[in-house]
Chains A and B, each alone.
Chain A
Amino acid sequence: MANVQMPRLSDSMETGKILHWLKKEGEEVKKGEPLVEIESDKANIEVEAYASGKLSKIVVQEGESAPIGAVIAEIGGAAEPVSKAEQPAAPKGETPATPEGQAEAAGPKQDARPVSADAPKPQATKAEAHVAQAEKAVAATAPTAADAGGEQYPHGGPDDRTEVGAAAQAALDVIRRPAEQENGERQRVSPVARRLAEELGVDLRRVQGSGPGGRIQKEDVEAAAQQKTQPRAAAPAAVAPSREARQATARPTGEVEIVELSKLQTTVATRLAQSALSAPHFYVTSEIAMDDAVRLRQMFNEAVDKSEAISLNDLVVKAVALALTKFPEVNASWAEGRIERKRDINIGIAVGLPDRLIVPVLRNADQKSLKDIASESKQLIERARSNKASAQDYIGNTFSISNLGMYDVDQFTAIINPPDSGILAIGAIEDKAVVKDGQVVAGKRMRVTLSVDHRVFYGVTAAQFLQEVKRLLQSPMALVL
């Protein structure tokens, strides 16, 4: 039997919501077949079965959420499996084989590990050696599967247990217990993480490991300790509320209608609050003469096919990307007391939809032509609007742009989109009377405001960076080269 566990679908995901089960209980499932659609904090993703067999039990129902690693369903072999929670108390002298034991002994090995397929096999440890030894003892002392009259109990049927077998099984249970988490997965913890957790009073069962194979490492414990001391903006619910409870809260009470948030909305809310509260923001505003940029765009669009037309936003993306190549200190993140400068320049483009705010990421924008930027961002935004974007589309941003110019907004300030340290808020282009060489003339002006994480870079850098963006947009030929 194999447990299906809530997979980790993005770096920031903590819980996932089951949208649809694509198989019914009792139906046959083949390894690799789509099994369930899950909503992560970033996108809706179809997850494939990692084992073949019968979908014997759906543990987490549609509409409900579960944390990463939690068992959401069970795929059994021919025999009807018994889930750990439902396992009846064994009568005296009997020791039902654990689900793990069954999985290990029953014919071809099924992968009972979480769906995060990159987890390598745990290395043999002393404890595991003991387990292996105890298992050998169980196998040696218990009757064979054939003797027990069925394949279901490869370590010996419940009626055929010998006392020696039971003792060995008990020994195995004792050895296994300390190394196991509630979900039966062995938790991998590095020695230094274990020592640090003890020193800092961190409960390792609540820590998600970021090391190879999910090993909990020093920095995971440090992060957990830090979270403990800082109240979190929004702690994920440990247990998803039942469907009844959710329906009850969705009903209007008095004058107030309570709106349940989607995972994505929750993520946006959490991250924006975290950013606004933890990153010391400051703002720099400048007005940019867009006459040449507007003219260039017209000329460009007259020269190309309509499908290849570029927007003013594309010009800004390119200008920002080029400016970032000169200011690596802006293309950086605050990373717990240090600064991480990124080599790639990936521009997040904030897209507001009626029910959502999403920021698809345009990768290596500094190396792309205007035409490529235009077509790629068109595709990205389209995928985002139609809810077809993958989690990959939303990660890796190093700087973001938010444009409300199309809504006649003159000027606004944006909240930094983590892990960036800056975001450029773009206002509308206005026809203005400007003074040029002592004469009042008509000019096109656009106000932009740079929001800056003051921990990562300072006012002068912000001003110089903005100056470079301005220079590029005011002499836009540089953007076409």
Chain B
Amino acid sequence: MAVLAMRDALNQALREEMKRDASVFLLGEDIGLYDGSFKVTRGLMKEFGEKRVLDTPIAEEIIIGTAIGAAMSGLRPVAEMMTVNFIMVAMDQVVNAAAHIRYMFGGGTKVPLVIRTPGGGGHQLGAQHSHSHENWFAHVPGLKVVAPGTPADAKGMLKSAIRDDNPVMFIENEGTYAVKGEVPDGEHLVPLDKNEVKRPGEHITICAHSRMLIVAMDAAAELEKEGISAEIVDMRALRPLDMAPVIESVKKTSRLITVEEGWRSYGVGAEIASRVYEEAFDYLDAPVARIGAAEVPAPYNKKLEKIVFPGKADVIVTAKALLGKN
């Protein structure tokens, strides 16, 4: 197994799928000549040519619209949105078209489309480039939404997403592209609808996805030193939301913290908490605690930005508070 950075794992997945299936093509801003803003598509234009790696104008609605049309016509487009914040202008295409077309045509057509896009903050890019909007898409039936937190999952889930016959929002995180991890060589597929316990524990369950998975794992290592054993459930599959490992874990630990990089209100954690109340209320020993970004537009100022996004210390303090150990 090779140790790869997240961006290289994604690159490997794209290359392998493009080699395997000639109907797979990429489109997006700066993905060809410039190798992609975050270098995920590095070398692909050189390798597969300008017909399969399309540099597009800055016109998000047209990128998604074109991709939907291509998907309906039998191709398998992978559209890159430079950041998740920029999809707003293409929201009509994503929600009204991509998510609903298969349903509206009674299954007569399908939309095998992947929209790859990074979210997340911490790079001093200001309020229009720094947010996490997983929950906006996870709200919509007809879309699949995934957000991997490890290079292995990034590769395996991107390959599965490209092969899926439905539109998949594949949400990456700018803060994870350089994170390294072991990635299985060759054919490695991770299902789009299965969440997974990434670290077993006894006293408290922590649900996290994408970059927050890394934060939660760090916090768990720290908590372990203080005798608190945290079980981490990776919420990489957000829609359909696989709650089984969470429910099972809460039944064991009786306490739950959700961690997300987005705002808490109406967020991923809110959905998880609500499902836990529905399915495991009698197993709880404390109210579910939700950790998320401060409810302000992300600041540009570095110090303020650091305060706004959740970190290891927030998880540790919350875990101890839930256990009455502060």
Contact = CB atoms under 8 A, between A and B. Distances in A.
Interface of A: 123, 190-195, 210-212, 215, 217-218, 340, 343
B283 interface: yes
Nearest to A214: B324
A190 B285 contact: yes
22 contacts: A123-B287, A190-B254, A190-B284, A190-B286, A191-B281, A191-B283, A192-B254, A192-B282, A192-B283, A192-B284, A195-B283, A210-B324, A212-B321, A212-B322, A212-B324, A215-B286, A215-B324, A217-B254, A217-B286, A217-B324, A340-B227, A343-B225
A210 B321 CA distance: 12
Given A192-B283, A215-B324, 20 more contacts: A123-B287, A190-B284, A190-B285, A191-B281, A191-B282, A191-B285, A192-B284, A193-B285, A194-B282, A195-B282, A211-B285, A211-B286, A212-B286, A212-B321, A212-B322, A215-B286, A217-B324, A218-B254, A340-B227, A343-B225
Contact of B285 (A123, A217, A343): A217
A211 B225 CA distance: 21
A217 B321 CA distance: 14
Interface of B: 225, 227, 254, 281-287, 321-322, 324
A192 B285 contact: yes
Given A190-B254, A192-B254, A218 B324 contact: no
Contacts of A123: 287
A339 to B, nearest CB: 11
B283 A211 contact: no
A189 to B, nearest CB: 10
A194 B282 CA distance: 8
A325 to B, nearest CB: 16
A360 to B, nearest CB: 25
B324 A211 contact: yes
Contacts of B282: 191-192, 194-195
A194 B281 CA distance: 11
A192 B225 CA distance: 27
Given A190-B254, A212-B321, A218 B285 contact: yes
A395 to B, nearest CB: 16
A211 B281 CA distance: 17
B317 to A, nearest CB: 13
Contacts of A218: 254, 285
B248 to A, nearest CB: 15
Nearest to B287: A123
Contacts of A212: 286, 321-322, 324
Contacts of B254: 190, 192, 217-218
A193 B285 CA distance: 7
B275 to A, nearest CB: 15
Contacts of A340: 227
Contacts of B225: 343
A191 B282 CA distance: 5
A335 to B, nearest CB: 10
A111 B63 CA distance: 62
Contacts of A193: 285
A56 to B, nearest CB: 34
Contacts of A215: 286, 324
B285 to A, nearest CB: 4
Nearest to B285: A190
B203 to A, nearest CB: 10
A-B pairs with lowest CB-CB distance, top 3 = A190-B285, A195-B282, A191-B284
A121 to B, nearest CB: 14
Nearest to B251: A192
Contacts of A195: 282-283
From A192, A212, A215, A217, residue with most partner B Cβ within 10 Å: A192
A217 B285 CA distance: 6
Contacts of B283: 191-192, 195
Contacts of A194: 282
Nearest to A220: B285
A123 B287 CA distance: 10
B278 to A, nearest CB: 12
A334 to B, nearest CB: 15
A202 to B, nearest CB: 15
Nearest to B282: A195
Nearest to B254: A192
Contacts of B284: 190-192
Nearest to B250: A192
From A191, A195, A215, A217, residue with most partner B Cβ within 10 Å: A191
B143 to A, nearest CB: 33
Nearest to A335: B227
Contacts of B286: 190, 211-212, 215, 217
A172 B64 CA distance: 58
Nearest to A210: B324
A358 to B, nearest CB: 27
A208 to B, nearest CB: 13
A193 B283 CA distance: 8
From B281, B287, B321, B324, residue with most partner A Cβ within 10 Å: B324
Contacts of B321: 212
Nearest to A342: B227
Contacts of B285: 190-193, 211, 217-218
Contacts of B287: 123
A365 B7 CA distance: 50
A127 to B, nearest CB: 15
Contacts of B324: 210-212, 215, 217
A462 B158 CA distance: 56
